[in-house]
Structures are given as structure tokens and as C-alpha cells.
Amino acid sequence: MLLEPIKWKANKIIFIDQTKLPSRLKYVRCMDIDTLCEAIKNLRLRGAPLIGVSVALGYALSAINSRSRTMAGLKKVLASSAIKLKATRPTAVNLFWAMKRMEDVFSRLSVDMSLQEIKRLLLKEALSILKEDQDMCRAIGRNGARLIKDKDIVLTHCNAGMLATAGHGTALSIFYEAKKKGKKFKVYADETRPLMQGSRLTMWELMKNGIDAILICDDMAASTIINKGVTKIIVGADRIARNGDAANKIGTYGLAVLAKYHNIPFYIAAPSSTIDHNIKTGKDIPIEERKREELIYVGAKQTAPIKAKVYNPAFDVTPARLITAIITESGVYDIKGFRRI
């Protein structure tokens, strides 16, 4: 069952407000990019590939909404929208990848085209980004499902599923495909403090899709590996450097260290739009730091002294040497020089 966390309908972006899950499945009808930017910043829309699709649709939306009658006027509107969209979140490279595609299309358009035609072509590009994301998810699922064996016990972190993409997800797409092939396996899902993407989103979507899933909190990972016999770890990524270092939700690096110690494979599943060819190593990946309140409160309940000093990075970087392989839409690549395996 495809969840479709984002859709384009009658010149509006319709999206699931993920902050309301799992208790409410609420759709938002978004008609302007300020609403969209707020949604991305506050994780109503989140997950690297979905952020990419969202900003592409947002760029097209702001062109369609523009009342400008000249190309110069439209150019000004789009330049200001691009600044806002790029300032929403810094780590997921899919955002910048999708924006570059949209801006490249706009810059290639000819000045004597009608504004209506320009808007049509921008929307066409954004919808292709959405469709390609769906295709990439299916292909990642098919490639990764080969690695799943009967009786596997897989640990995952955060949400790299349907709610993080326009399609079946990245890491979780592998589970959906493996299930379709009749494989019998179990998934342990980390709750993923502080914003609970694992318990709120991954558990919700895995249960909806009939995957045998068990929730644990983050600090149970080591003992679950030993006591429940975890056989592999599969997670997503927000940005992968040229050498294979991968940024993903905070806590991922710790899981990779655990995998190494316990001698189990650690896989990253991500589309090629998550690979940043402009950076050499993980040291250059910008890591988002989020507001202190995320650690001072759980929901409305205060769980730390109000004035506590807080360190709240949203992502960490797993060095390539801890990654067994990267599962992409074009194949499974051994990390040593991205060799295909």
C-alpha cells in the first residue's frame, strides 16, 4: 500500500503532516511556499528524497503562483523562492540536487517563451523528479531484497520508508520487496530520539504494510543485537560523500560501530541523488543542529531543566570503512571504491 506523503493536485501540494502521525493521518493543502518551507523546517515533510521532491514542487508552485507578467519579474520571484527553499534544512543533499535541476531548467528556457509555457515546463520537471524518485525506490527495493535471507533479523533506524520518499522508501522498500518475494524476516525499529521518527513513522508504516516489526528504544540496540540475534542493519542516508562516508539520522554512526564489533553487515540504502559528488569526505557534510527544546521536552512534557545546556545535532557521519555496502537503484556497491557486488 503506497502512502503518497506528497501529491500535486489542482495547482496545490497536498502532503501528510508527519508530526501528527501515528495518532492522526492529516493531509495539508499547501498553496504557497512559505507554508511549504515551514513544513520542511518542522519535519511535517521530512526524509532526504521527500525533501528533494517537496522543494522541486515548491519551486514550480511559486512560478505558477507568480503574478508577474514579465520574464524578469518571474526570475526575481523564483530567485527569492530558491533562497527560502534552500534555507530550510542543510544536510539532505537531495534538496540541493532537486533545486539545481529546477534552476537549470529555468535558466535554459528561452526568453521568448510564454510565461504559461515556462510554468508548464517547470511543473513537468518537478513531476519527473517525483516519478523518478518512485522508480528509484522500487529499484533499491529489488536490489536490496536479494540481501535478505529467511530468518533474518534486521535493525533499522529513523524512517527511510514511504514517508521519507515519494515512493516505497529506501531501506524500508527492501523489506516490502523481500516480503513480496515470500521471505520470512523480522525488523527491529529504533524509536529514534529526539523526534521519534522510528516509533511514530517507521512502526506505523511497517505495521500498515504487514511487516513483522518490533519497536525498541535507541539504547536497547546493543543488547538487541546480542540477545535477539540481529543479522544485519539497514538504514537510509541524507548525504554520501565521494569516499562513501554517509550522513544519516543521529545514532546511525553508533549502530555502525556496533555492527563492526558484532561482525554483522551494515548497509546504507539510498538513491544516487543522495550522493554528493562535490565533496570528498564526510568531514565536509554540513550537519544540522536543531533547537534545544527538542531535548528539553518530550511533546508538551518538560523532561530536562529548562536552562540545561544542550547539544542537538540531527545527523552523524558514518565513516565508509564501517559500511559493508551501499544499496542504490543501480546496484549494490562495495564501499571500497564503490565496487559493484
Q: What residues line the site for ligand MRU (CB under 6 A)? A: 43, 46-49, 92, 158, 160, 164-165, 169-170, 197, 236-238, 248-249, 314
Nearer Cβ to ligand MRU, position 158 or 279? 158
Instruction: Find the DSSP H helices in 87-213.
Output: 93-108, 115-145, 171-180, 203-208
Nearer Cβ to ligand MRU, position 46 or 101? 46
Task: Give the residue carrying C-alpha cell 495518532.
Answer: 23
Question: What is the closest distance, in whole angstroms, from the C-beta atom of residue 69 to ligand MRU in the complex?
Answer: 38
Question: What is the closest distance, in whole angstroms, from the C-beta atom of residue 122 to ligand MRU in the complex?
Answer: 25
Nearer Cβ to ligand MRU, position 53 or 158? 158
Question: What is the closest distance, in whole angstroms, from the C-beta atom of residue 165 to ligand MRU in the complex?
Answer: 5
Nearer Cβ to ligand MRU, position 185 or 253? 253
> Among the options 238, 245, 276, 316, which is catalytic?
238
34 classed as catalytic: no
Q: In what side-by-side order are the strands of the sheet with 266-269?
A: 213-216, 185-190, 152-156, 232-235, 266-269, 325-328, 331-334, 339-340
- Residue 123 backbone phi and psi in degrees, to 5: -65, -40
115 exposed, middle or buried (CB, 10 Å; 0-12, 13-18, 19+)?
A: middle
Residue 256 contacts residue 267 (beta carbons within 8 Å): no
Question: What is the closest distance, in whole angstroms, from the C-beta atom of residue 248 to ligand MRU in the complex?
Answer: 5
Question: What is the closest distance, in whole angstroms, from the C-beta atom of residue 249 to ligand MRU in the complex?
Answer: 3
Dist. CA 62–CA 78, nearest whole Å: 7
284 exposed, middle or buried (CB, 10 Å; 0-12, 13-18, 19+)?
A: middle
Nearer Cβ to ligand MRU, position 164 or 213? 164
Grid cell, residue 151, equals 530468518
**DSSP H or E run through 224:** helix 221-228
Q: Which residue is nearest to ligand MRU (CB)?
A: 236
- The closest of 3, 48, 11, 252 to 127, measured between CA atoms, is 11
| Enzyme catalytic residues | 238
